[in-house]
Amino acid sequence: MSSTNRVVTPESLLRQEVLDLQAYPVPESAGMVKLDAMENPYLLPQSLREEIARLVADAAINRYPDADAQQLKACIRAVIGLPQNVDILLGNGSDEIIQLLALAVAKPGATLLSVEPSFMMYKMIATFTGLQYVGVPLTENFSLDLPAILAAMQHHRPALVFLSHPNNPTGNLFDAEAIAQIIDAAPGLVVVDEAYYAFANASLIPMLTRHPNLLVMRTFSKLGMAGLRLGFLVGSKAWIAQLEKLRLPYNVNILTQLVAEKLLQHHDLLLRQAEQIKQDRTWLYERLAVIADVQPYVSDANFILFRVIHADKIFKELKKRGVLIKNSSSSHPLLLDCLRVTVGTPQENEQFIRALQESIHQVV
């Protein structure tokens, strides 16, 4: 065989770090009570769905969308109440923004630092964009280990620090003073990922004007728009202008632009749903707390992490009973025997609690 027609294999061509990766796991969920992915469980009122249907019917899908999504950005600005001197960058989900940030700083040897356990995409994206990744463990109670983070920043000089606030998968907010110290000491950018902002009473957006190396990222996925794929990053005009160069043209499609604008005009409705989810989080926490051998962790997000005995077995038993949650047990030593459940509708939450009690009875 001549060298020109030799079969090229993935192993011979791809970077080793790509070959070593596992694709982001998305389990089969058809027909299950789906409490694994922090989605909003509520549908929209019929009248609003009909309005959306008309918008979609009239959309000029033969044309490219507005490349700058100006109307959508204006809606976001109005709803979030952003300071004037701050700009917005939109992403096809906030995952895309993490990737864009990583690509922007990916000089040889550049480092992305985060805490562990946290959102797995920080590490995965760092790996496939060629960044060094440093994960500083949280303390036993999932708070920031400030001295360790400051020391790691001093040593590794990260170009990017990612903090999920509230943190996925632990659900807690971090100490605001510790975050401020990290921002002050960071040699590069600090991105505070507020994916779960709608379920917490804390945001770093007011700090943007005082801290030029701070960027705040949010997504609308948890607020009822996971299927639309829309995330955004806010920060100083100087940073956003540079990052815009890496945003692929038309990354936010016309249907997403139109529907998200419409939904943001009904932001109060989405916030009421979030409020309901917060109330049901309390219900769920209290039910979990009284089950023997279950230790739930207090959450400021739309999910609850809890520890059980034999997490793997209980996860499987729940699945057998048609309930899909997330098994975090093997993802980090601090999460040994931990499961994560998204807050669903009251009925789904009851189904989950019943299935959990049965599963524990079966296993323990």
User: Which residues are near ligand PMP by CB under 6 A?
Assistant: 38, 93-95, 119, 164, 168, 193, 195, 219, 221, 226, 231
Q: Are strands 303-307 and 338-342 parallel, antiparallel or unpaired?
A: antiparallel
Nearer residue to ligand PMP within complex by CB, 219 or 328? 219
CB of 165 to ligand PMP, least distance (A): 9
The answer to whether 273 touches 255, Cβ cutoff 8 Å, is no
Q: Which residues contact 312 (CB under 8 A, 6 or more apart)?
A: 327, 329, 330
Using the minimum distance from each CB to ligand PMP, give the nearer residue, 217 or 254.
Answer: 217
> Of 193 and 300, which CB lies nearer to ligand PMP in the complex structure?
193
Cis previous bond, 117, omega within 30: yes
Measured from the CB atom, the residue of 168 and 256 that comes closer to ligand PMP is 168
Our CB check for ligand PMP shows the closer of 129 and 221 to be 221
| Rounded Cα–Cα distance for residues 38 and 166 (Å) | 13
* Least Cβ distance, residue 37 to ligand PMP (angstroms): 7
Closest distance of CB 123 from ligand PMP, Å: 12
Q: Which is nearer to ligand PMP, 34 or 287 (CB)?
A: 34
CB of 10 to ligand PMP, least distance (A): 26
DSSP, res 341: E
Residue 233 in 3-state DSSP?
A: strand
Give residue 271's Cα distance to chain centre. Answer: 18
Q: Choose between 38 and 186: whose C-beta lies nearer to ligand PMP.
A: 38
Q: Could you give the CA distance from residue 341 to residue 171 in angstroms, rounded to a whole number? A: 11
Cβ of residue 153: shortest distance to ligand PMP, in angstroms? 20
In the bound complex, what is the minimum distance in angstroms from residue 128's beta carbon to ligand PMP?
Answer: 16
Query: Which residue reads 């110290």 in tokens?
Result: 181
Q: What DSSP state is assigned to residue 183? A: H
CB of 11 to ligand PMP, least distance (A): 30
Token readout for 225 is 């728009």
What's the token pair of residue 96? 């895309």
C-alpha 280: how far from its chain's center?
A: 21
- Phi, psi at 143, each rounded to 5°: -95, 170
Q: Helix-strand-coil percent breakdown of the chain, rounded to 5?
A: 45, 15, 40
Q: State the minimum distance, in angstroms, from the CB of residue 355 to ligand PMP.
A: 23
- 10 Å CB burial of residue 149 (0-12, 13-18, 19+) is buried
- Pick the closer one to ligand PMP by CB: 72 or 360: 72
Here the tokens at position 149 are: 């983070």
Across the beta sheet with 86-91, the strand order is 86-91, 231-236, 214-219, 189-193, 160-164, 111-116, 132-137
How far CA 52 is from CA of 22, 41, 49, 163, in Å, comes to 37, 18, 5, 35
168/257 with CB nearer ligand PMP? 168
